[in-house]
A and B are shown apart, each in its own frame.
Chain A
Amino acid sequence: MAAFDAVIVGAGHNALVCALYLAKAGRRILVLERSAEIGGALRSAELTLPGFVHDLYATNVGQFAVSPAYRDFAPEFAAAGLEFLSNPYPYATALDGGRAIRVYKDQALTEREIAAVSADDAAAWRELVGLFKRTAPQFLPLFFTPMPSAAALLRAAGLLGASPRSAWALRRIVKDTPRAFVDRRFAADETKALLMPWAYHMDFGPDVPGGATFAFVAGLSGHLRGLSVAKGGAGAITSALRRIALSLGAQIRTSSEVKSIRIERGRAAGVTLAGGETIDADCIVASVTPKLLFGGLVADEHLPPAFRRRIGAYRYGPATFVVHLALDRPLEWRAAADLAQFNYVHLCGGTDDIARTYADSLAGRLPERPVLVVSQTTPVDPSRAPPGKHVARIHVRTVPSVIAGDAAGAIDARSWKDAAEPYAERLLDLVAAQAPNLRSAILARRIVAPPEIELDNPNLVGGDCVSGSHHLDQNFARRPLRGWSRYATPIRGLYMTGAATWPGGGVHGGSGYLLAQTLLRRS
């Protein structure tokens, strides 16, 4: 008998969620993480100055608060001290000319805000809110349903039965481009600019079909539920996951990189670490991105050629770039004083500007005016900084992984090592145009460019923050590949989990949860 029922490769949050369920069912679990820290893209640290806690990657973690894992382990998470915080000011968009448009948790306030630019848009917004409220209880659970599956079909059928009209509207949204989605409903650029960035958080340029889903779901749930952060830092979720996993008897080892998966007679039998150590297990769960798992940890010879070819074509999205800021005082936004309260302030041009940014990112050009997500965390969670001080970050969607040129023609550098600093200056200029006290408020900053992101977590290939494009050909029953969307692989005993598998990127543990259900049902 092998020493472990399951060895889990990588300690991202999906892997840890999976470990929780398996350990609770009495399985002997070992989690192996290559980095010195666990958590992958869900960590926080004092990256700049003492007492200033920055979320390294994911920050808006409200999805986790409504996930099955959080529900199923609620007492354990509470005992671990995990808390989610949100405020009445979820998101806003700052536009050229010092204008802004704000979405509050309060519906009447939001409608009034939109009515100020267009009465028709306010009515259309109300209608969209209605659609979300009517359908969300039915379709949100789809994200925690295996894809494809009878259960998923039943849910979809349930939606259709309850309201054919709503179901039809949803069907259209699933296929729509972000541009079509907003143009169909709204007249004013301001209103459109509220939702477009949410599709762009994933890698949906305005004209990519399928992006409307993200604009709809993230935009509307952000409005109605607010955005949430984890009290004390996103790493609080990771620490809680670790604590629960250990208390259930799972083992976690850091600085332990898995170099290969041992396969015997067509079945996964164990792993080999970078130092040569081998560990046997009855089952291997890999939270390793497909391109590194297959052809990397699993030698080509074990894979059917057609699978190998298809997985080789798995596509990653353009990269992301982050500037973490320690601030001496809140930003003073020109458009409205209360913008300083908003968890997310998006900065973007119109739809065509976003389309240009997308095309530039894909073509290797540094965008002239990318979509910026300025997250202001301290208004929601004051514990992130010393009294009176603040943390914020500029998260850039999107930049090229490899630089071929600069759309603005100003930056000559062709490596991120040399381009990071001047590009960060461009971003600061863009924000300072809206919040003129930015530069004088900065106490310290830390730039994280795409190569550093990938070095820190190889699953974020090229600095793609969501571990692979979520375009329709790689989402739903096609994540990561059609025929392989339910975590199994061509190797018996080897399973995939993580953002590259359904339901994709983000912090919800959906993939870890669904895989654990599958494994527990099987044995």
Chain B
Amino acid sequence: MFTRVEGLKRVLDLFDGVPVMVTVGACWVEWDALRPSDGNFALKTLGSGSSVGLGVALALPKRKVVILDGDGAVLMNMNGVATVGQMQPKNLIHIVFDNKVYEASGCIRTATSFNADLVAVAKGLGIKSAHRVATPEAFESQVRAAFASDGPHFIVAETKLSEGDSTFAYARLEETDNKHRFMRFLEKVEGRKLREDAIDVKTSLR
């Protein structure tokens, strides 16, 4: 087993211009420190990674789109994975760090520490390229393979608890700010405007 950071450090070079949806909690803190970028989108709701990531992947079919997720989050919203299986976005790479606990809320065990097998779930939901990795080397080669081939890809990485600090990142007033920056990042890497049709300026955001 290895840590998220150990794994991610090995594949950082692949992420130039890649939008990344990141699950709540320590994973965000680590990733944002590894790759500080407006292309990091902090998911607010546990489990929304597959749904948000699917939307981004469908909107930007020529670009690899990555979800950094957790086992607890995937278990919370498996229907999102089912929709990925249904839509088959070629460019989506869903990485699930499976540490078998809800790390941010006191390390309560999740179903994967009992009988659930997320690779089998993904396969059953129609994602053919679903793999389990347990070493940093295997993680690296699986992620590189996913970047080099059509997906959707689903990679379950068996990781240990992050070392040291796993402080829960507090609710951020800047969430909306993150969204706007993320959109600008997409516009920049895509070289086209996405904004007008994406936002209904008359909506009150409260």
Chain A residues, Cβ within 8 Å of B166 = 274-275
Of the candidates A36, A49, A277, the one whose C-beta lies within 8 Å of that of B29 is A36
Chain A at the B interface: SS class: loop
A274 touches B172 (CB 8 A): no
Q: Looking at the complex, which of B46-54, B69-77, B83-91, B196-204 is the stretch in contact with chain A?
A: B196-204
A47 touches B176 (CB 8 A): yes
Give Cα A345–Cα B153 distance, bound, in whole angstroms: 56
Give Cα A443–Cα B181 distance, bound, in whole angstroms: 19
B203 touches A444 (CB 8 A): yes
Give Cα A400–Cα B97 distance, bound, in whole angstroms: 44
Chain B residues, Cβ within 8 Å of A431 = none
B204 touches A254 (CB 8 A): no
- Interface assignment of B16: CB less than 8 Å from any CB of chain A: no
A255 touches B173 (CB 8 A): no
- Interface assignment of A61: CB less than 8 Å from any CB of chain B: no
The closest CB in chain B to the CB of A446 belongs to B205
Chain B's interface size range is: 20 to 34
A34 touches B206 (CB 8 A): no
A45 touches B177 (CB 8 A): yes
A49 touches B167 (CB 8 A): no
- Interface assignment of A56: CB less than 8 Å from any CB of chain B: yes
Chain B residues, Cβ within 8 Å of A276 = 164
- Interface assignment of A48: CB less than 8 Å from any CB of chain B: yes
Give Cα A35–Cα B203 distance, bound, in whole angstroms: 28
- A275-B165 contact given A255-B29, A443-B202, A445-B205, CB 8 Å threshold: yes
A274 touches B165 (CB 8 A): yes
Of the candidates B168, B173, B183, B206, the one whose C-beta lies within 8 Å of that of A445 is B206
A50 touches B199 (CB 8 A): yes
Q: Looking at the complex, which of A128-136, A308-316, A447-455 is the stretch in contact with chain B?
A: A447-455
Give Cα A314–Cα B127 distance, bound, in whole angstroms: 59
Give a binary string over A233-268; 1 marks a CB under 8 Å from any B CB, 0 the rest.
Answer: 000000000000000000000111100000000000
B167 touches A34 (CB 8 A): yes
Give Cα A58–Cα B112 distance, bound, in whole angstroms: 46
Q: Closest Cβ of chain B: how far from A310's Cβ, in Å?
A: 30
- A34-B170 contact given A50-B180, A51-B180, A274-B165, CB 8 Å threshold: yes
Chain A residues, Cβ within 8 Å of B180 = 46, 49-51
The residue in A47, A48, A50, A452 that gathers the most chain B C-beta atoms within 10 A of its C-beta is A50
B170 touches A455 (CB 8 A): yes
A444 touches B167 (CB 8 A): no
Q: For residues 437 through 469 of chain A, which have their beta carbon under 8 Å from a beta carbon of chain B? A: 442-448, 452, 455-456
Of the candidates A50, A273, A452, the one whose C-beta lies within 8 Å of that of B173 is A452
Q: Closest Cβ of chain A: how far from B170's Cβ, in Å?
A: 5
Q: Which 6 A-B pairs give the minimum distances between C-beta atoms?
A: A45-B177, A275-B165, A50-B180, A255-B29, A46-B180, A277-B164
Can you list 7 residue pairs at the A/B interface with Cβ under 8 Å? A35-B169, A36-B29, A47-B173, A257-B167, A448-B173, A455-B170, A456-B173
B-to-A contact residues, CB < 8 Å: 26, 28-29, 32, 42, 164-174, 176-177, 180-181, 183-184, 195, 199, 201-206
